[in-house]
Structure 1
Amino acid sequence: MKYRQLTKEQFEGLHQEFAHFLATQSIDVKEWNQIKTEKPEIAEEEMNIFSDIVWNDVLTKTKYIEHFSETSANLFKCDENQIHRIAIKINWDINLLEQKGFEWLMKNPMDNSVDIFKGSKSYTKDRNKEIFDLVEKGSTISKGEIYDYFSQLIG
């Protein structure tokens, strides 16, 4: 398995897609229920294959991810061959996880208490795997508005 199995909630949200996936393998509902009962290891493998397909599709389409903590933000732009990062550190008592703190940062990005660093690197392994690792560590997929805002500010 390349990534990780989808959660129960994710499988429920993708119920139609999973049913279609099983149908492409000529497995109907009756047979699927039988496989789950009599051959749970095969059911597990089918779920793993489907999970990898879903993750790979989502990650391939991912262009931006971000991670916020109380005093820092890491904004990433995920190109095909490189990942670009804007790291923001707040050097006073503010909480970016709260609306008030986040709004302060967006209104005062060039304040003396804000350090902003920018860098890029080539992927050291598979692009999607690196993005997946960041997501597993708490980053979320985003539309990139915050990255683009800070990218324009710092050039």
Structure 2
Amino acid sequence: MKYRQLTKEQFESLHVEFAHFLASQSIDVNEWDQIKKEKPHVAEEEMNVFSDVVWDDVLTRIEYLEHFSANIINLFKCHKETLHRIVVKVTVSTINLMEKEGYEWLLKNPSHEQVEILEGTKEYQQERNTELFDLIEKGSSISKGELYEYFNRLITKS
């Protein structure tokens, strides 16, 4: 397995797609029920293959990721060959970027002396999707990139 199996909730939300996936292998609902009962290892393998297909599709489409902690935000723009990262660090001890007030403070005060903004670009060390999956497993979330683009504009003006 390349990634990890989808959760029960993810499978439930993708039940129509999973049914199509099974149908593409000429497995109908009755046969699927029989496989689950008589050959659970085969059922598990089908679920793993489907999970990898879904993850690959999702990961291939990702353009932006972001990861928040109390005083640091990591913003990623996921290009085909490279990953551009903007790190926003707040050294004001009373500011928690994971809380609404802290986040709003940062947006109003991005040039504050206790806000550090760093950036860098790196080539992927592994396959792109594998690296993005690893970032997600470590707590990053897929985003539309608004925050990345906001800070990228600030950096570009400097």
TM-score by length of 1: 0.99
Report % sequence identity: 64
The 5 A counterparts of 1:1-155 are: 1-93=1-93, 94-155=95-156
Q: Report Cα offsets for 1:63-102 as digits up to 9, x if no partner.
A: 0000000111000000000000000111012111111110
* Structure 1 letter corresponding to 2:109: N
2-side partners of 1:61 and 1:18: how far apart?
20
Letter paired with 1:34:
Q
Q: Which TM-score applies when normalising by structure 2?
A: 0.97
How far did 1:25 drift?
0.4
For structure 1, the residue ranges without an aligned partner over 5 or more in a row are none
SS at match of 1:70: coil
How much is the aligned-residue C-alpha RMSD, in angstroms?
Answer: 0.4
Paired AA for residue 40 in structure 1: P
Distance 2:25 2:107 in 1: 50
List runs of 5+ in structure 2 lacking aligned partners.
none
Q: Runs of at least 4 residues of structure 1 off by over 3 A? A: none
Secondary structure at the counterpart of residue 3 of structure 2: coil
Q: How many residue pairs get matched?
A: 155
Q: Which amino acid aligns with 1:106?
A: L
1:72 maps to a residue whose letter is: I
Deviation at 1:42, TM superposition (A): 0.2
